[in-house]
Structure 1
Amino acid sequence: MSKLTLNERVQILSLLCEGASMRSISRVTGKSINTVTKLLAEAGEACIDFHDEHVRGLNCKRVECDEIWAFVYAKEKNVDTAKNAPTFAGDCWTWTSICADSKLICNWFVGGRDADYAEMFMNDLADRLNNRVQLTTDGHKAYLNAIEGAFANEIDYAQLVKQYGAAPDSAKGRYSPAQCTGAKKKARIGNPDERFVSTSYAERQNLTMRMHMRRFTRLTNAFSKKYESHCHMVALYTVWYNFIRTHKTLKTTPAVAAGLADAPRGFDFIVALVEARAPKTGRPKKNT
C-alpha cells in the first residue's frame, strides 16, 4: 500500500461504502482494479479482526435479526452451467443482528441459510452479549433450534411471521414481490414483550446494505465474483456503519450510542488498522 497516499486510500474506502462499484472506483481514482481489490482485501481483514475484538460486552435490551440474499459468481440455478465456478458460487446469505436502541450491528455472518449457519451465527451473537435480551426474528425455522442451543432459557424470544398473498394486478410482473397481508407474533422462549416484537430495524438495515454496497444491488451485474471479496466488503461496511457513519436519528454513530467509542471515527481510522496489520519492511537488525 506504499504506492497509495492516505487521501487516496480514504477516497477509495469512502467510495466502496457509498455504493460505487470497484470498476467505477478504478476509473474515478485512476488506480488499477488490482489496487482497489488489494485495498478492499486488506481493509476487510483488518475490519474483521477489529469487529471481532471490540464489538463485545454489549448491553443491548432488544435485538433484531434477519438475513439478506445475494449471490456469488452466479445464481444458484446457473452454477452447474457456469464456467470455472469457484467453491462458494451460488446463493449467498448475510445474517445480521442489530440493537434496536443503539442501531449497532452486533454481528454478521456470510454463508448459507440452513441450520448449521444459523447455529454459528447465534452462538457468535450470544458470546457478544452481556445480559438477557429480547430477540425477534422472522419465521425462518432454522432460528428456533439455533437460539435454543445458544441461549437456552436465558432469552426472551419471539418470531414475527409474515403472511403473503399474490401481488396486486397493477404491480404484476417478472420481479413483482408478493404482497404482505399480515403478520403474527409468536412467543417462542421466555416472556417477550409483544409491543417490541418487530424486525423493522433489521429490515431497514437490509435496505441500507443494498444502498451502500454495490454488490448487493439487485438486477445488475454488480454481484460479488468471489466469496472472500463479499466477506471483506461486509466487514468494511460494518465497521463504517458502526463507527464512522452518523445515524440521522441518533445524531451520532451506533458505536458511540452503544458505549463502544467516545466519538465518531473517520476512514483514516480504518487505514490505521490496515497499516497496523501490514508486515514490517526493512532489513532485520543483526544481533551484536
Structure 2
Amino acid sequence: MANVLPAERRLEVLAALVNGTSVRAAERITGVHRDTIGRFAQAMGEGCARLHDRMVRDLTCSLVDLDEQHSWCRKRQMKVDAAKDDTAAVGEQWTWAAICRTSKLIVAWHVGKRDQESADALVEDVRARLVVMPQITTDGLGLYAQSIAANFGRAVPYMQTVKNFSSRPGKPGTSEKFAVPRGVDFIQKRAIFGTPDPAKATNYAIERSNLTARQWNARLRRRTLAFSKKLSRHCAAVALHYVHVNFCHIPRNMRVTPAMAAGVTDRAWTLEELMIAALDEPAGEKPEPQPLTIPKPEGTARELPAGRGWLRVLPGGPATSAPSTPQPPPVISAPDTPPAAVASAAPPAELSRQLDLFSWRPKPMAPAQMNLFDD
C-alpha cells in the first residue's frame, strides 16, 4: 500500500504553513516528518501558481501598486563555487509583487534578483492580466520605468513616490544597509508618464501586503533560520501565501476576500477547497496580453475618436469660463475717438483675458496730477 498522508493531516500541515509556521515547527506540531511537509508544500505552491494563472486574468483594476521585498535563499554569502552552485539560486532573493489597491488582490508576483530582468517579468505578467489601463504607482526604483514604458506605453499614468528617511547613526561595525531609519521626513511624488492623479498615488497597500507576507510566510522573515534552502521551495511558498490571501483571507476593513472584490470568484474559499483545487489543477497556459481600455476619468472629460483616450480638465488654470450667451464683437474706435467713448467700448470684465485676444484698447488718458502748491 502506498504511503499517502491522510487528508486530515495534510489540512493540519497546510493550516500551519499559511499561518507563519516554519517547516520544523510544523513538524513538531503535526508529527509529520519535515521531508514530507516540504514535498507537500512544494506541490501546493506549484498548484497554486497554476490556479492563479487560470483564474486571475481579464482584470479591471484601475489602481495598481508595485514593490519588491528582500529575502534569502540557501545562504547569505554571495561568494559561491560556480562549478557546484548556481549563483541565481543562492543569496539574495527579491519577491516582486503587484497589488490592486481597490480590491487588495495580488495581481502578479515574481521571485528573482533585483535587476531589470525581474522587473520586466513582473510588469509583463501584470500587463497580461489587465484589460483596463491602470494608474501605476511604485517607489523610486528606476528599474520599473523601462518595463512600464515597453508594456503599457508612455501614455500610461505612472507616478513614483519617493520616501526620504531621516538618518540614524548605527552601532560601531554595523553597515549602513542594516541601519534602521528613524522615520520618513517627507514623501516626494513625481509623474513619470502620462497624467497621473497625485492624490491617488501611494504605496500603502503594497507595503501592508509586504508586512502581511513577512508575518504569514516564515521564509520571508528578517534574520531567521526559516529561510528557504532551495529556490523551488521558496517560490512555492510565495505562491501558496499569495493565493491563500487572495481566495481565503478576508481583510479587516473589507467584508469579502480580494478575489471576490475583484470579481474573480463569488465566495470565500476554505482551506480544504484551496488544497483540493491546487492539487488537482492541471498545467495550463499563462494569460496573453489583451487590448487595454482607457477608463473615463473623473470630472469633465471628452472622449477622443477611435478609443484613443480622453481629454480631461486639469486643475491649475484660470478659474474663468467662456460666457454661455454669445457676446457682440468689440467695437474698434477710430483714432480721434474721445477717451470717454473708448472707455465705454471696453469689453465686459467677466471675459477671460486668455480668450479675449483682439480686445486691446489704448488706455484712457490719466487725469492731470493734482497740484498741491500754487504757482
TM-score scaled by structure 1? Answer: 0.90
Alignment of 1:27-46 (within 5 A): 27-46=28-47
Measured against aligned partners, the alpha-carbon deviations of 1:122-144 in whole angstroms (never above 9, x if no partner) come to: 01101111101111000001000
- Report if the CA contact (8 A) 1:165-1:181 is conserved: yes
- Considering only aligned residues, what root-mean-square deviation do their CA atoms show, in Å? 2.1
What are structure 2's unaligned runs of at least 5 residues?
Answer: 283-375
Q: Show the counterpart of 2:221.
A: 217
Q: Which has the larger helix fraction? A: 1
Q: In structure 2, do the counterparts of structure 1 residues 227 and 258 end up closer, same or farther at CA, with 3 Å as the change threshold?
A: same
1:178 and 2:163 matched: no
Equivalent position of 1:106 in the other structure: 107
Distance 1:172 1:126 in 2: 44
Equivalent in the alignment of 1:243: 247
Amino acid at match of 1:111: G
Contact 2:50 2:281 in 1 (8 A): no
For residues 155 and 245 of structure 2, what CA distance do their matches in structure 1 show? 29
Structure 2 Cα separation of the partners of residues 277 and 265 of structure 1:
15
Please tell me the residue identity of whatever aligns with 2:180.
P
How far apart in 1 are the matches of 2:96 and 2:264? 22
- Flag the 1:154–1:52 CA change in 2: closer, same or farther, 3 A: farther
Hey, what does 1:95 align to over in structure 2? 96
Q: Which secondary structure state, in structure 1, belongs to the residue aligned with residue 108 of structure 2?
A: strand
| Residue 3 (structure 1) shift | 2.0
Superposed CA offset, 1:225-277 (max 9, x none): 11101100011111100000111111221001111111100111222124425
The equivalent residue for 2:197 is 193
Consecutive unaligned residues in structure 1, runs of 5 or more: 279-288
Q: Highest CA radius of gyration, 1 or 2?
A: 2
Alignment of structure 1 residues 73-222 onto 2, 5 Å: 73-75=74-76, 77-80=77-80, 85-87=85-87, 88-167=89-168, 174=174, 175-179=178-182, 180-222=184-226
Residue of structure 2 in register with 1:48 after alignment: 49
Letter of the 1:128 partner, please give it: R
Counterpart for residue 233 of structure 1? 237
Cα distance in 1 between the residues matched to 2:27 and 2:39? 12
* Structure 1 residues 103 and 172, CA gap change in structure 2 (3 angstroms): farther
Q: 1:261 to 1:154 in 2, by over 3 A?
A: farther
- 1:153 Cα shift? 3.2
**What TM-score do you get using the length of structure 2 for normalisation?**
0.69
RCO higher in structure (CA 8 A, sep ≥6): 1
Q: Determine if contact 1:132/1:154 at 8 Å carries over to the other structure.
A: no
SS in 2 for 1:59: coil
1:39 to 1:45, Cα distance in 2 relative to 1, 3 A: same
Provide the rounded CA distance (Å) in 2 between the counterparts of 1:154 and 1:276. 41
1:239 & 1:134 partners in 2: Cα distance?
Answer: 24
CA distance in 2, matches of 1:164, 1:172: 18
SS at match of 2:80: helix
Question: Which piece of structure 1 moves more, 178-187 or 56-65?
Answer: 178-187
Quick one: which of 257, 261, 283 aligns to 1:257? 261
Query: Is the 1:64–1:100 Cα contact (8 Å) retained in structure 2?
Result: yes
Q: Structure 1 pair 275/96, CA: closer, same or farther in 2 (3 Å)?
A: closer
Aligned residues: 275
Pick which of 211-220 and 267-276 moved more: 267-276
Question: Secondary structure of 1:153's partner?
Answer: coil
